[in-house]
Chain A
């Protein structure tokens, strides 16, 4: 019969259409909210999703996986008197590995001796050029530069971030990337313990 194929296709469309409402009703019967809840969004991006698929941005937002990356930021530890202590030592690896070369670092020099101090004097990232590849975070030996989750940074001007704008606390980092943070902290503690053990072993020998 001519037109059978079209009708079959329309059947698929109809099923997809009704699925949305069947799904709505089943959520309603279970007393759950399908829209504007994290559970609902999670279900819509799971393998069981049926019917309407879209997420109503900005009221609803997709759940970002931990590894999601968008423009880098610098991590600082909070000092005793609330002073920001950047983890960055201005070693320059991020500036060297950056593919579009958008990281600019001025190293601090000790004014008396002229020797470099492990701390950045100025730090710029040209966010308009940054391609969000994540190399800087990947190759930083001090876990000082990390990729952010905050993606809506559109603005009217140009986005050259300086040190002040780039610094975010370690607690923020722990919040957006808990697994990574814990792994790194453990590795650091293990390293420190190994160092202490070595120092202990070396100390009696010296005395």
Chain B
């Protein structure tokens, strides 16, 4: 299925001798680019080689080699495997690198995150502030020499738990609560959170200066959230308004930040699986899927055939319930409270019943293991899946359409209100239904198939206007395609073992790096894992679709009315567990 362009390998070393070297470390792939030539090489990658989608940017702290590394994963929206290139700098402050924002605008928040967590400065970044942590935070927590407040040991399992595990509460180890650090000259007692000069200064950047003859109007800054019912959690958005028109906005996040990456690096490989459930808590099955696929890539182990099908069934069920909730919540955000969303919740409950029967929990499933899944699907749960897929869900999706799609109020609110066009969507690294509704048929299940998705006959849902109505309707298209996949999977599923490996509580993962990605209902969910052969990952990074999609929020909303803002935000389908990590 792969076209010539997809399989064409890129030899950067031949194209840029002296400037690029191949990454020759064992288990690693891709290219190492000289810091001075980074912009030149990146521009060529985008314009000459067609890598138009910069999916993932992240840092790694190689403290033993005294190096900081920034890793870029670029893809083509026409499909095919990606290209990874890295740039290494001396680990001596100030660490500086050129920014990629000018080439791929989608790097903006990811580079801010790297600055926030690693302290790498991107010199020509338009708005380099902390993004997940607050201004009074001291240090860069993902650096390997950083120790958090209740630091106990570098890696789990902690020695204090066994064989002499006398229970103590963690806070008893810090009776004076003196384990917090603040920057120099920072007094938390006199800190005034409302005086957020940096944030508002960054907003002034986007407020246009007056042109000749224009009436002077005041620009008002409105803070939506963090406790706003329609921001889907604790997202705060500072919006500047000219009258009712949005002229600029800045999302402020991190209220749920727990440094998932650092937790992952302290955990063993297996222990991360239940933590991934908590990223996008609507789709724990999809999160498990992404993480487990990545580590399997590193371990180079096969997956049991039956387990592959079970995984696909669970992931697609998860997609259906996610999109149902999306529809319900969108209508909720548009002002029609409760009725549609509760209709959506009914079907979701039935799907969660199945998750509960197979995995033991409705939302925090923790169902996937390296090489397979935990347990086989019980007979009655399998029957229920078949009943839902064959009888109930198609009828209920039709009913939902009958219920809403022709409603004149809804049509008037959605039709013609812009979200994103294809060009902007790709530039901002937006993935998932929002990208497809803008007319780019990019679905990882087809573009870079993982698991057994290449065995199913399904269409990539795509719509072309990129307005709210298309973004809304594409969710229905995707649910129908998921049902198609489910029908085929239920027919093809073979009997057999559900795990190719013996159950073991500590897995051996050979040294190396891997980037795995799956098409989660919200977009590209990527995991970047580096192992150095120890029981714990050396680097563990989540490329969360909600977080990266938020980069485009300013472009989506600029020029729109404030009344549409909530609906436009709802279109991105963000989940704060994943944005803040």
Contacts and interface: CB of A to CB of B under 8 A. Distances in A.
A12 B161 contact: no
B188 interface: no
Interface residues of A, number: 49
Contacts of B162: 90, 92, 95-96, 103-105, 107
B384 interface: yes
Given A9-B404, A47-B392, A133-B364, A106 B166 contact: yes
Interface in B372-412: 374-375, 378, 381, 384, 387-388, 391-392, 399, 402-411
A8 interface: yes
Question: By CB atoms of chain A within 10 A, which of B275, B387, B407, B411 has the most?
Answer: B407
Contact of B375 (A3, A67, A104, A126): A67
Contacts of B275: 99
Contacts of B405: 5
Contact of A104 (B165, B358, B374, B402): B165
Given A101-B158, A138-B503, A90 B403 contact: no
Given A134-B366, A138-B374, A104 B161 contact: yes
Contacts of A35: none
B295 to A, nearest CB: 15
A3 B357 contact: no
Interface in B151-185: 156-158, 160-167, 169
A27 interface: no
Interface string B406-421: 1111110000000000
A182 interface: no
B360 interface: yes
B358 A67 contact: yes
Given A47-B388, A104-B166, A107-B163, A67 B408 contact: no
B37 interface: no
A131 B361 CA distance: 11
B165 A139 contact: no
Contact of B157 (A45, A67, A96, A124): A96
B346 interface: yes
Interface stretch (B49-57, B81-89, B228-236, B266-274): B266-274
Interface in B244-286: 267-268, 270-275
Interface residues of B, number: 57
B6 to A, nearest CB: 39
B360 A97 contact: no
A13 interface: yes
Contacts of A64: 356
A126 B169 CA distance: 9
A13 B336 CA distance: 13
A4 B406 contact: yes
Contacts of A3: 408
A153 interface: no
A47 B167 contact: no
Given A99-B275, A124-B167, A138-B374, A9 B407 contact: yes
A178 interface: no
Nearest to B271: A99
Contacts of B268: 97
Interface in A67-114: 67-69, 90, 92-93, 95-99, 101, 103-107
Contacts of B161: 92, 95-96, 98, 101, 103-105
A90 B163 contact: yes
A6 interface: yes
Interface string B190-207: 000000000000000000
Nearest to A109: B163
A47 B384 contact: yes
A184 to B, nearest CB: 13
Given A97-B270, A131-B274, A13 B339 contact: yes
A156 interface: no
21 contacts: A3-B408, A5-B411, A12-B402, A45-B350, A47-B384, A47-B387, A49-B346, A53-B346, A66-B378, A95-B165, A97-B157, A99-B267, A99-B271, A103-B161, A122-B167, A131-B364, A134-B360, A138-B374, A138-B503, A147-B360, A158-B169
Interface of A: 2-6, 8-9, 12-13, 16, 45-47, 49, 53, 64-69, 90, 92-93, 95-99, 101, 103-107, 116, 122, 124, 126, 131-135, 138-139, 147, 158, 160
Given A104-B165, A122-B166, A133-B274, 19 more contacts: A3-B408, A5-B408, A5-B411, A6-B409, A8-B402, A46-B384, A47-B384, A47-B388, A49-B350, A65-B357, A68-B360, A93-B505, A98-B157, A99-B271, A101-B156, A107-B162, A116-B163, A139-B505, A147-B360
Interface of B: 156-158, 160-167, 169, 267-268, 270-275, 339, 343, 346, 349-350, 353, 356-361, 364, 366, 374-375, 378, 381, 384, 387-388, 391-392, 399, 402-411, 503, 505-506
Q: Which 8 A-B pairs have the closest CB atoms?
A: A5-B406, A104-B165, A92-B162, A133-B274, A69-B360, A107-B163, A99-B271, A65-B357
